[in-house]
């Protein structure tokens, strides 16, 4: 039975539903986010407008350009955009290497690279980037011969660029190139031959060690570290040195187009700076790698600042650079003295 309250309303016995709380006021962070989104939208719209303006102007310029001018430019091009100058690094001591594996850095791989790159149609010239004190006679001559062969077969110009050092065998290889570019402070020269033999006879006597040799002839153990060199052995080795020296002088005289006697005056083993070498006629120009590239581009008639092509492996370059630093600063001399056999070398030891 419904009851009537004092106000006259009927009480049905069901409690009234609670009224919903008022909405909280907008937070300042929410307002900031909304303003940021609006700013981004405005900037995006402006960027679209700017892009359309630029596109319309470019399209208008293209339409107004005379067609005959464009055709004349295309017709006047004598060389493809693919034409390039190849750069072949020659870093560290030059040796034949212990194998013919592609990741080794012996003279076989350098010679193969010269042949491969010079045979590419898009390669119009080659820069030998040399940073080497030289190396064994056979290895140096292998690279030198590869350069001469590539020049004869392809008629493409070669430019030698000298880095920190390009001495002895490094210069021998460079003499096969058409132009030599060196830094003013590059160490070069050291034209000559050397045959080094260590003598441990005194040390062996102190520790009670003696070497016994059975040989088929008196010269068979020539260069042994366990005894003094005999006069006959020294005479024989000197004849080898003289013959190898004559080959070096001849190569320089032919490559630099100099008189043999003039080369001999310069080829007493001394070293030169790049600037001294230029004054003596051993270097053509002073400059850096870019200057060498520009020279190669002009010789190949493709202009300065040519496209550069290199097939070298970054890991191989890292190993070559490490080998260069170790060899130049003598860090590997002990290992060489202990493990390397005596060899005839076009090499500057420096220290």
The H or E element that residue 277 is part of is helix 274-280
What would you report as the CA-atom Rg of the chain, rounded to the nearest whole angstrom?
A: 38
CA distance 143 to 153: 15
Active site residue: 57, 220, 301, 304, which one?
Answer: 220
In the block, residue with structure tokens 């058409």: 178
Long-range contacts for 260-264 (Cβ within 8 Å, ≥24 apart)?
A: 263/191
**DSSP collapsed to 3 states, 190-202:** CCCCEECCCCCHH
Could you confirm whether 19 is annotated as catalytic? no
CA distance 307 to 2: 102
Residues in the chain: 351
Name the DSSP letter for residue 341.
Answer: P
Could you confirm whether 220 is annotated as catalytic? yes
The angle formed by the CA atoms of residues 342, 348 and 351, to the nearest 5 degrees, is: 95
Active site residue: 107, 118, 136, 168, which one?
Answer: 168
Is 204 exposed, middle or buried (CB count within 10 Å of its CB: 0-12, 13-18, 19+)?
A: middle
Catalytic residues: 168, 220
């Amino acid at each position: 039975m419904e009851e009537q309250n004092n106000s006259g309303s009927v009480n049905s016995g069901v409690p009234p539903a609670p009224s919903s709380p008022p909405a909280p006021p907008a937070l300042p962070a929410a307002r900031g986010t909304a303003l940021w989104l609006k700013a981004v939208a405005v900037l995006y719209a402006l960027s679209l407008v700017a892009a359309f303006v630029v596109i319309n102007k470019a399209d208008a310029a293209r339409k107004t350009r005379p067609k005959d001018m464009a055709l004349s430019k295309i017709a006047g091009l004598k060389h493809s955009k693919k034409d390039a100058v190849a750069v072949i690094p020659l870093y560290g001591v030059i040796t034949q290497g212990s194998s013919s594996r592609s990741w080794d850095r012996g003279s076989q791989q350098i010679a193969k690279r010269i042949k491969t790159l010079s045979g590419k149609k898009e390669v119009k010239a080659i820069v030998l980037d040399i940073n080497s004190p030289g190396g064994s006679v056979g290895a140096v001559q292998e690279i030198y011969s590869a350069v001469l062969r590539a020049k004869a077969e392809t008629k493409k110009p070669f430019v030698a660029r000298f880095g920190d050092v390009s001495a002895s065998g490094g210069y021998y290889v460079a003499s096969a190139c058409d132009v030599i570019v060196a830094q003013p402070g590059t160490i070069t020269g050291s034209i000559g031959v050397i045959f080094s033999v260590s003598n441990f006879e005194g040390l062996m006597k102190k520790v009670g060690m003696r070497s016994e040799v059975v040989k088929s002839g008196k010269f068979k153990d020539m260069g042994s570290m366990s005894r003094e060199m005999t006069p006959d052995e020294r005479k024989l080795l000197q004849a080898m040195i003289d013959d190898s020296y004559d080959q070096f002088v001849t190569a320089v005289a032919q490559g630099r187009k100099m008189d043999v006697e003039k080369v001999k005056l310069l080829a007493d083993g001394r070293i030169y700076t790049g600037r001294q070498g230029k004054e003596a006629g051993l270097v053509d120009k002073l400059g850096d790698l870019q200057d060498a590239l520009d020279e190669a581009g002009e010789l190949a008639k493709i202009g300065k600042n040519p496209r550069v092509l290199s097939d070298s492996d970054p890991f191989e370059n890292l190993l070559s650079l490490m080998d260069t630093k170790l060899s130049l600063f003598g860090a590997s001399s002990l290992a060489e003295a202990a493990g390397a056999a005596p060899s005839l070398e076009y090499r500057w030891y420096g220290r």
